[in-house]
Each structure stands twice: as structure tokens, then as C-alpha cells.
Structure 1
């Protein structure tokens, strides 16, 4: 999640001063790669910075040690494919000793686990190579459990070999079934005429078929058919060879990692035990962080995170290649990555950084991702990399009409700001401009959409909140020293005083939660969305560790992102863990999955402080009526019931981790999964019947900018299929005052009479 960017500079300066005095005493440090002195220095520096600067640093004791032990073993062997139970028994002697080792700058536990891991990895190469030598017998009735948290470590080498055999067999089986399905489809369609194939393609695509897609399909029909039938034996051999190559590539990649890379993992495990948002940036990671702040990158436009042994797509960047293509989506697990038409590489178990390196690449090049969908389906997705434009991180707005009223929709993907240039655009300035533009178009209500908005600048939240109220507090901040500060909107001007709806979901975090909470506490806006938002009520600073060491000859020490503050609602409650509860709760596909801050074991606790002094908004008289009307609509809405049913189905599917390795049973399982998911296809095909359009200034730009036009058309298309936006429009309509509705009715009658 994006953090609220540094705000309380006074506390930061105190940390710098203390560290400069303490660490500046070190000098004449010996130079050398993977030097243990550098590792010891990093440990001391890391813990000192956190203990002095963290909002509420955990005690480095036996309980802390236990948490590090578990997290670190999970990090380096998440699928339990390397270590034996005898190794774990040996490591467990240090389970309650790591805290003492940190204090004494002792690297015994790390050295033991590191050298043992390298040894076990080398041995594992022989296990999978041996398993892939001969054809698999897919008639054998056996299965594999991929819930690695519940699977124990292997008691013997023979048991470990069998685990490897089953895991590579599953990978090969999935590829084999996919190849068979493709071949069957080709065989089935080869005798059809081009006209029949095109008609079938159009039927499958429905209203999603674009002229470009149709032209591309016709072009492929005219190409010479190079398909050659392969026997079962040929395909079976091909899948084993492909699996072997992927694993060899994976291990080659791992071999390139040095001891310093593995030590960075250990250090980060220590950092994240303080809280989920405190973490260590190794030098390479810090460099990538700096690049990301520039706002431009070349790749597919997706954010990734590690989820057990898998890499998960957490977000698609608006305007990026993956977003445009519409096949990849949040929640997908990346299993394999291929460069163009080359053999795919198995990335399960691979480090996140390494997966990112494989997925990123120059503009115009092709990458193919094999992903596991949230419903369990396996799909290969081809994406052409491109430059991901910063423009799509900015606010944008649209207009929609209902019952003669115009309403505005403002989408804010993040709370952005340029700290280096105060004259540059930021979220606060841009939202004010969008509101003014919407007012000029005569809108009678505004929807602020901060769904999937992970946060950003605290200053912009205060600025945006101030657009909707008269002078007053927006958020309260409490520092590590216990000092409280209330951040106010001091401008008496109200940019928008009409009906307001704020849309959130479980991925709305940090700054998004501040805005929603403030508007809810003032009774200024109705909050529509998931049961609650993410629940991140903390502030982080990114601190370059190199600035604190005088005479450093050891090289780059990286950086530390640490939690320095907590923020609170103006009513005194924290958004930490609990998030912001919606006034109108709408079910979504992820409602029953564990995704929020509350699902992390070492998240900081919820608490509260004294409320700030503020006055409720009194200009919205039918607030409660609009909420009641919405709840009545949702209770009888069949689409809402289907979405809730789909969410429960996804929860059940997420817990099904046992796969059959018998080919007929595996095919049956996949077919049943495919059939059961068809019930929910209408969720994707839903249309709310509203027409969305750009503002006049943007219409003029789109006339000369095909790319912008395509982006806005896609956004408007998504809005027209969005049941949540539909309900927000209904709520805005219910918020219109009786006198305003009467005035509009008279105007419409008058206009009709004039036309007659």
C-alpha cells in the first residue's frame, strides 16, 4: 500500500541529530563485499533507527525473536521444498535467541540458515531432474496439497524427493491438459469456413468486440495454417522438457544472488516485525524506489506482491498495457513468465524482485504470463510492454445524467504531490479544478471515487477535504513522542456545497480513509462501498541509511521505511485495523477474503484519542432518507445477490488447495470449475444503462489525441458497467431537495412546451 508521505519533519530532524552524534563515531571501517562488518553495522543501524524513530517500537525480546524466526523461514523456504525437518530442529535452537544476536551483532543464525539453504538448493536440482527424466504416469490415483502453511517439512530425503516429484508433475500436468485443449479446439475448428469462424468469434465476444479485434481475427484467418497434430507422447515429453527448462532457469537466477541479497531478506524480516509497513530497502530496491518516484516506467503496468510462494497482481495501473488489455486483473497469481515466443519460466517460489525483472522490459516487446485466476482457472495472457504514463495517476472527471439532472464523477487514483516543486500540479489543486469544471456544466451532485486508492500525500487530503466544508479540522496526527496535532482547513471558501457521495472499497487505504472518515464525521458525504476500508492508520518516512555513517567505505547501506506516526479521525477514533465503515454497504467479489490490515498478525492496534472541535454539516436535510432508500434498493437487487454469492464462492475456492494428479480427475476438476464459474458471467456483462461523457475541454483534446480518446472511452465503458457507480447516482438523486426537484420538473415542462 502507498504510505502517507513524510509530514512531521521535526521528529525526523531529532532522529537525524541523535544518529549523527552516535553513529558518526564509527570510522575507518574495513572494505569488502559481503563483509560481516557491514552486516553487523547494518543490524545496529537498523535497530537503532527504528527504536528511536518508530511510533511504537516493539520490544526486541523472545517474542520478537519468535516472530522473526517464523517469518524468515517462511521467506526463504515458503513451499517447504528445501529444508528437512532435521534442519528445522537444528534451527529451532535459535528461535528465542535471535533477539540477543541482534543486540550483540551476532550472525550465527543467519550464517547457519544461509549456508544450509545453499546446500539444500544444490541438492534439490537433482530431485527435480530425476523426477523429469521419464514420462509421468497420469493414470495413478494420487494428489498434492499446495497449502504449504499446513504441510509439514519432510522427515527424510526420500519424502522430499517425492514432494518435488508431485510438484513438478502438477506443473507438467497443467501444461499437458492446456496443450490438449488447444489441439482439440484447433481440430474441431479446422474444417469450418472463415465465415463460420468469424461468426463464432463475434458471438463469443458479444458487445466487447472492437473493430481492431475483428480485423486482427480476420488477418489471422488468412495466415497459412502451420498447425501440426502432436501425439500424447510428444506433448507429454514437451511438457516435461518445458518444466525442466523453467526450473533450471529459476535455479540459475537464484545462483546469481549473493550472500548480501539473502542478508537483505533477513534484515527486512527484522524490520517488518515492528509493523507491516516498516521495511528495509536494499540498495537495488532503493534505486527502484527512486525510479518509481519519477512517474515513468516501461513494462506491463501492474503492481505485484509476494503471496506465500506466489507473485500476486495487486493492482493494474490505469492507462498501462495490462489495464488496456483487460485480461489481467487484481488477484491473479503469476505462475510462469515467457519472453515473446520463448519457453516460459516457472516463477513459483522465485523472489519478487526476480519476477519483476522478468515481467518488466523495453517498450514494444512481448511478455506472456501464465496466471492462476482467483477462481482457480489457469490462463496464458500475452501483453505488449509499453511506457506507463504518469497522466493516468491524475484526477479525471465525467458527466452523467438522470431524470434531467447532471451529476459529476471524479476519479482519484492516488493523492499525488511533487514535494520538490510546490508550483507543480497535485491532487488538491486538480480536484479543485475538476469541481469548478463540473459546476460550470451545471451538475447537481458529485461522486468522489477513491476505490483502490492506496493513499499518498497528507497535505492533499487536507486540501481536498477543505473543498467540501467551511473552516475546520480534517485529521489528527499523533507522533512517536505522543504529541498531538490537528490539521485544519483554514480556507473559509467552500468549493462544492451540494450533494456528495464518496465511493470506497477494501483497497482504499491511508489518505483515502482520512478523506472518507472526515466527510463521514462531518455528515458531509455518504460513504458507499465495501463493509470497511483497508485499515491503515499509520504514517511512514523513508530514511536513507547512508547519511548517518561517517567515513563509510563499505558501500550503499540502503534505506529504511519506518512508521513514525498514527493519524486519527476528527471524532477521535483511529482508522487502524477498523478502517472506515460504509454508510451503504455493497457486496463485492473480495468481501470474504482476507486482504486488510486486520488480517496481518503484527499490525498496530486500534485506539482512540480525544475528538477535535468541529461542527456538523447541516445543509443536507435528507441524508438519512437517501441511505434508507438505497438499502431498500439493494435488498431486492438480484445482481447484488449474485455478487455476494460469487464472493462466497471465491472464498470457498481460495481454500481448495488439493489437486488430483490423475489426468481424468484433473480435467474433471477443471471442467467443474469452469462450469461453476459460468453462473457468474453475467456480473461481467452487466450494464447500468447510463451514458457517461467527458467535459467540453477534454472533448476538444480528444479530437486531436487518439490515445486520450481511447483511454476515456474505456473509462466511460467501465463506468457504464459499474453497478456501484449506478447506485451512487441513485443516491445523489435521492439527495436532491424537494424544492430543487420541483424546480427541475417545472423547467422540463416549460422546455417541452417551447419545443411543442
Structure 2
């Protein structure tokens, strides 16, 4: 949920100049190869601290309170489910709870080294624990329980207590999987499809980073529901299969953990420090920086294949439409990559190699050759040559659809993020793409537009100005304030209005940052109606990404990565900040997760809300139906049984999220799960809802779909989801209400009659 803005390049130079004036202390060489890692880590700590203090909008005081926050965040990140460290470890670590500020300032790595070394030991012990626990059947007749509220759980006092905790947690996950298997087998015997099985997971099962056994459901269900003699499997057989599957899941997890290097864990420590300044100040190791660049631009140079690690092997999971691998038609999902060669060089065996290292070898500059030796799905071995190219991730970009209803035509534009390519001014960016979509919808003769920024975590603020400018004549869009400097106002100075018709902006709890500025500007101008969750995420800060390598003369330290730090806050044109408060919807629709704590306001070290002077702007007046449309929508929502059901479901989900105690006795567990399933059946109409609207692509995309089966499938899935989305339906209802002429049954009949005559 980040905002990186184009105009910041001007302010970045000022920030950079300030930092460079005092950064000579970092411009040194690292000589001793033996101490490279230690010296690099110390240098990184010093450099990060310095840059944050000089460049952060409001740097925190590095004192004992700061130290306690770092300590808490770091220990929780290392062992969130309290399955590795003993209380004796914590007692030893806690001596440093108020010393980390001093260690940071003195570049002292004592605490990190201690915790890292101890974690490696405890993980090896944990590996032995789960193998021993899963080596024999569980007794599901014992009356015992397990509490999944790890935050309140104490650390184990000794190895015996720790093993007992592992046993209960693994038993809970195998019990859940086993009852699933039993239910599937019972249903198949009755001729009932298992597709109707209700997901028993509750929000309390939601996995936090590192909580690898909260929900150890089988990584792959056993495909055969019968024994070798053709009979249904016995309880003993199902129990054994479940344990084997859990063993495989844990083997894969520990295999992944084994691939993590000391640098990876040091990054966890560093981010425990940076996040105490605010939740969005983060350190990017080199690989993370590259992934961030891809996410903000939506493109990279490579072959266009998504990979995943399966034990020691690297498997292709998906080919990206339009990429070299997709165009070549020789690779397919399920192929396993065995070797990689650069051009005519000797192939390198990559079996057992870290996934990040495999990716580095396969990606490369446009025009270069890579040769992959793969084991095909059919078992054959092939060597495939590919020429790398620029790959665009289609899911990153804006897309639109058209729907006809009540004799009118509407356009829906979905914007997943405010993307931009900072390195190429002619590259794709959200502002230009939305302008293209709006123009295409106008040519198609739409009577209204829905712009959907639900789940849009932000991106480039300059694109917000461009997009908002499509809907207003001209004026301010957002105000920005840097520490100790006067505010700056970003304007739309183009008098042209691309779309002056009815407009609805859809938001939810996860619309953040740039999404919130767009919604706020449209709301302040009264240009369109904001519809969605009670309020958006509440991120009102601006981040700047600083490459740390520019401060180092020598390259012997390797790539130091980058720092994303909060340098500014942005404000609505009415003067209010979106920080913490977000943007309140004009029309609030019930939301299944409305009562769960998931916003910026729920983070303990978030920056505060404040207000500055408003910037003069002229409210849009061509909206006589504005207030009436809001009023009518609120009435519809209040009377709609589907929305009532969603509200009831939201309250139930909130209650379920607070339930953490699970019985490990099969009969009791089944009873509690049966109660959950029975309640869930009541809410099944939420998922089954369909208002039967027919969505279609614009002509140019429809033509592309004929040549691209993958794109066709993705668009058809999206169109189907739109036709089942009650929130989109209500947004379209609001567009009906905003029409200059009322949409009546008589009008609809007349329009249909005219169409028949023309035909």
C-alpha cells in the first residue's frame, strides 16, 4: 500500500543533497574479506539510520521506548506462533529490550547474532520434533484442546512443554484435514460432490507471517478415495494419509526455511527497526527492490513464466500472456526446470538451488538468450531456447467492460494499482491507460462509468492527478506537505473534461494511498459518488525509494538494496488528511469484514491525523440528482435482504475471529465444525448471488481475446464475477439514479421497441 510520486524527483534531489553533504562517513572501502558480512551489516545499519533521520517526515526518537518496540516486533517476526523459542531464550533476549537503541547507534550486532544463532538451533530441534510427532497415529478420543491465540500464549518453559505445543498444534491441523477427508469420502459414497463443502476456516485461523502450522491442510488431497481393493478407505488408512500429507507440508516448509540466508534474517531485523518510524518505512534487500520495481511498473525483462519451488525442484506454474515462453509454445504449466544456460554457455544444474537464485539466472536483458533443460509433464527431457523480452503483467493494468441494462449502457473500469514506469516516460502508466479506457467507453456510447479501485493499494500519485483530471475541468487534486516546508498543491491544469457524465467510484477497506486521494478529490468536488466500505484504509503518507548503493564508493560490499522512507504527507483539497481516517463513503454498503481490524488506524506506530488549510476549488454543479441518488441507494441497501445477510455475516465473522479454543477430541471437534457449517449454510446465498447482467469486452479487446486463449479465459472469469457482485450491481443502480432522464419501465419498453424497429 505504497505511494511513489513522479514530482518527488524534484524533492528527492533536495533530500539527496542534504544526505550527501553528510554522507562521507559511508564512502569507504571494505578490505577484509573475512569480516565482509559483519562490516556490511554495520554499514547498512549506520546508513539506514542516517538516511531515515535526515529524510523522514517525522523521525522517531531513538530511545528506550523505540528499543522496546523494535524488540517486540522482531521477536514476534522470528517466532510468531511461539514454536521455537523457550522462555529461557526470551529471558536471555529480554536483557537487551532497552539496549537496542544503543546497539543501533553503536552499530553493535550482539543482539542480532544471539537471536539468529539461537533460532537456527531451535529450528533444527523443531525439525526433529515434528518428525517424531508424525511418526505415529494420533489418539483423537482424548479430551484435550488447543488455543490458537499465540499473542496471549506464554512461551514454553522447557523442551517437554515445547514438544507438547507442537504435538497439539499438528494434531489440530491433522484433525481438521482428517475430518475433511472423511466428509469427502462420505459424500462420494452418497453421490454428493465435495464442491459443496463449506470452508471451515475462520478468521482466527488466518496465517500471520511465519505461522506455518496454523492451517496445515493437505498440500494436495489424496486423489484416490478407495483402497487398492476398491473399497472405501478405513479410518486408519485416512489417518495415515493425513499424517503423511502433514509431514510433506512441514518438510516443504523447513526446506524453504533452510534456503533463507543470514542476510534474509538480517533484513527481518532491519525492518523491525525501520517500521518503528512508521509502518511504511521499509528496507528492501536487492531482490525485494527488484520485485517492488516490477510491481509499480507492471513489467520486467525475462521469459514470462511464474515459478514455484517443490522440494528441490523448480516448477513452472503459469505462463504470462504475451511473454517469450507463452509465444514459444514449448513450455507449459507443470514443467520442471532442471538446468539453465546463458546463450551458448554450459548448462548449470539448478536442482536444489534457492528459488531467488534460479529466477536471477532465468531473467535477463531483452534480446539475450537463455536455454532451459526441462522435464516435461509427460516425463520427456527437452532443451528449450528462449530470447528474453519485456514482459508485461496484464493483471497490473487497467481493464474495462460494458454492460447493458434498463435500455442503457454502462462502463466498468477496474484499476488494480496506480502503476507507472519511472524509467520510461513513454511507458505505460495508469493515467494514460484510464484515459484510453474512458475514450473507448465514450465511443461505445456509455451512459455512465463505474471506476473500481477496491483493493487498490496505491502507487504513483502523479497518475492520480491525471485520472482525476479526466473528470473535472481544472483545479487542485491533492496537497502535499514536507517537514519544515510550505505545502505544495498538485493541479489538473487541462481544461478538457474527458467524461462529464454520471460517475461512481467504488472503494473498500483495502483501497489505500493513491486510491484514497482519487476518491477524496472526486468527493470534495462532488463530481462523483463514492460507494463501498464505511471508510478506506487510511494511508495518507508519501514514500520515496532511495538506492543505498549510491552512498558507497566501493562495490566490494555487494548490492545494499534500497530504503523506502516516508518523506511527506498528503492532504485532501479540503485540508483534511486521509491518514488514519481514510475516505468515508457517500454510500456505505455492508462488508463481510467491516468489524475486523485491518486499517492504518489499527497499527500502533502509524502517523497521526491532522489538517491544513484548504486549497480553493470549485464544486461541480452539473449533478442535480446527486443527493437524491445517495438517498435512494441508502434506502435500497437498507431494504435489500442480501445486504442484510452480508451485515449479519460480518457480525458473525467478527465473533468467530475471537474464538481461539479448539477441541482435539474428534467427536467434539466434529460437533463444533458442524455448528459452523450449519451457520455457514445460512450465508451461502452471499456466494451464490447472481443478478444475471451480461458484461462484455470492448471491440479491441474482444479481437485480442480471439488470439489469446489465456486472456479470453481471464476476461470471461472477470465478467462472470461482475455479474455476481452485488456491490457492482448497486453501483450500476446509482448510475441509473444519476441519469438526467429517469429510467422508467415505460422508457425501457420504448427503447426496446425502437431497437426492434431499427433491427
- TM more than 0.5: yes
Alignment of 1:561-640 (within 5 A): 561-640=564-643
Looking at structure 2, the residues matched to 300 and 723 of structure 1 have their Cα atoms a distance apart, in angstroms, of: 35
For 2:53, the equivalent position in structure 1 comes to 51
For 2:177, the equivalent position in structure 1 comes to 175
CA contact (8 A) 1:34 1:259 kept: no
Deviations 1:601-630 (A, max 9, x none): 111111111100101111111211111111
Q: How has the CA–CA distance of structure 1 residues 49 and 90 changed in structure 2, closer, same or farther, with 3 Å as cutoff?
A: same
Q: How has the CA–CA distance of structure 1 residues 225 and 52 changed in structure 2, closer, same or farther, with 3 Å as cutoff?
A: same
SS at match of 1:35: helix
Which of residues 283, 299, 305 in structure 2 aligns to 1:295?
299
Q: How has the CA–CA distance of structure 1 residues 702 and 11 changed in structure 2, closer, same or farther, with 3 Å as cutoff?
A: closer
Q: How has the CA–CA distance of structure 1 residues 183 and 447 changed in structure 2, closer, same or farther, with 3 Å as cutoff?
A: closer
Instruction: Tell me if 1:470 matches 2:473.
Output: yes
CA contact (8 A) 1:543 1:560 kept: yes
Q: How has the CA–CA distance of structure 1 residues 319 and 532 changed in structure 2, closer, same or farther, with 3 Å as cutoff?
A: farther
SS at match of 1:112: helix
Q: How has the CA–CA distance of structure 1 residues 700 and 546 changed in structure 2, closer, same or farther, with 3 Å as cutoff?
A: closer
Looking at structure 1, the residues matched to 691 and 524 of structure 2 have their Cα atoms a distance apart, in angstroms, of: 30
CA contact (8 A) 2:298 2:396 kept: no
Which of residues 265, 268, 275 in structure 1 aligns to 2:268?
265
For 1:161, the equivalent position in structure 2 comes to 163
| 292-301 vs 151-160, greater mean Cα deviation | 292-301
Looking at structure 2, the residues matched to 97 and 85 of structure 1 have their Cα atoms a distance apart, in angstroms, of: 20
Alignment of 1:387-536 (within 5 A): 390-536=393-539
Which of residues 176, 184, 187 in structure 1 aligns to 2:186?
184
Deviations 1:488-529 (A, max 9, x none): 010111111111111111111111111110010001111110
Looking at structure 2, the residues matched to 319 and 576 of structure 1 have their Cα atoms a distance apart, in angstroms, of: 38
Shift of residue 151 of structure 1? 0.6
- Give ranges in structure 2 of 5+ residues lacking alignment: 199-222, 309-317, 323-333, 337-352, 363-371, 378-389
Deviations 1:350-395 (A, max 9, x none): xxx99999999999999xxxxxxxxxxxxxxxxxxxx996233222
For 2:713, the equivalent position in structure 1 comes to 710
Looking at structure 2, the residues matched to 443 and 512 of structure 1 have their Cα atoms a distance apart, in angstroms, of: 24
| 744-753 vs 562-571, greater mean Cα deviation | 744-753
For 2:342, the equivalent position in structure 1 comes to none
Looking at structure 1, the residues matched to 706 and 453 of structure 2 have their Cα atoms a distance apart, in angstroms, of: 28
Shift of residue 536 of structure 1? 1.1
Instruction: Tell me if 1:38 matches 2:40.
Output: yes
Q: How has the CA–CA distance of structure 1 residues 753 and 402 changed in structure 2, closer, same or farther, with 3 Å as cutoff?
A: closer
Deviations 1:100-149 (A, max 9, x none): 11111112222222222223333333433443343322111001111100
Instruction: Tell me if 1:282 matches 2:285.
Output: yes
Q: How has the CA–CA distance of structure 1 residues 126 and 633 changed in structure 2, closer, same or farther, with 3 Å as cutoff?
A: same
Q: How has the CA–CA distance of structure 1 residues 736 and 524 changed in structure 2, closer, same or farther, with 3 Å as cutoff?
A: same
Which of residues 718, 733, 740 in structure 2 aligns to 1:730?
733
Q: How has the CA–CA distance of structure 1 residues 180 and 459 changed in structure 2, closer, same or farther, with 3 Å as cutoff?
A: same
Q: How has the CA–CA distance of structure 1 residues 754 and 98 changed in structure 2, closer, same or farther, with 3 Å as cutoff?
A: closer
CA contact (8 A) 2:259 2:354 kept: no
Deviations 1:690-712 (A, max 9, x none): 33233333344444444433333
Alignment of 1:548-567 (within 5 A): 548-567=551-570
Instruction: Tell me if 1:117 matches 2:125.
Output: no
For 1:539, the equivalent position in structure 2 comes to 542
CA contact (8 A) 2:298 2:397 kept: no
Q: How has the CA–CA distance of structure 1 residues 436 and 121 changed in structure 2, closer, same or farther, with 3 Å as cutoff?
A: closer
CA contact (8 A) 2:406 2:743 kept: no
Q: How has the CA–CA distance of structure 1 residues 19 and 642 changed in structure 2, closer, same or farther, with 3 Å as cutoff?
A: same
Q: How has the CA–CA distance of structure 1 residues 232 and 33 changed in structure 2, closer, same or farther, with 3 Å as cutoff?
A: farther
Q: How has the CA–CA distance of structure 1 residues 172 and 33 changed in structure 2, closer, same or farther, with 3 Å as cutoff?
A: farther
Q: TM-score, normalised by structure 1?
A: 0.81
Shift of residue 286 of structure 1? 2.7
Shift of residue 460 of structure 1? 1.2
- Give ranges in structure 1 of 5+ residues lacking alignment: 190-196, 206-219, 302-315, 321-338, 342-352, 367-386
CA contact (8 A) 2:335 2:375 kept: no
Shift of residue 729 of structure 1? 1.5
Looking at structure 2, the residues matched to 708 and 204 of structure 1 have their Cα atoms a distance apart, in angstroms, of: 30
CA contact (8 A) 1:20 1:548 kept: yes
For 1:20, the equivalent position in structure 2 comes to 20
| 546-555 vs 568-577, greater mean Cα deviation | 546-555
Shift of residue 473 of structure 1? 0.5
Which of residues 142, 145, 148 in structure 1 aligns to 2:144?
142
Which of residues 71, 74, 97 in structure 1 aligns to 2:76?
74
SS at match of 1:708: helix
Alignment of 1:640-679 (within 5 A): 640-679=643-682
Q: How has the CA–CA distance of structure 1 residues 574 and 243 changed in structure 2, closer, same or farther, with 3 Å as cutoff?
A: same
The count of residues paired between Structure 1 and Structure 2 equals 670
Looking at structure 1, the residues matched to 392 and 97 of structure 2 have their Cα atoms a distance apart, in angstroms, of: 47
CA contact (8 A) 2:185 2:232 kept: yes
Looking at structure 1, the residues matched to 527 and 306 of structure 2 have their Cα atoms a distance apart, in angstroms, of: 40
CA contact (8 A) 1:23 1:549 kept: no
Q: TM-score, normalised by structure 2?
A: 0.81
Shift of residue 735 of structure 1? 1.3
SS at match of 1:620: coil
Deviations 1:11-35 (A, max 9, x none): 3223333443433344232334663
Q: How has the CA–CA distance of structure 1 residues 266 and 703 changed in structure 2, closer, same or farther, with 3 Å as cutoff?
A: closer
Alignment of 1:121-136 (within 5 A): 121-136=123-138
| 720-729 vs 571-580, greater mean Cα deviation | 720-729
Looking at structure 2, the residues matched to 64 and 84 of structure 1 have their Cα atoms a distance apart, in angstroms, of: 25
CA contact (8 A) 1:12 1:53 kept: no
CA contact (8 A) 2:477 2:490 kept: yes
Q: How has the CA–CA distance of structure 1 residues 102 and 441 changed in structure 2, closer, same or farther, with 3 Å as cutoff?
A: same
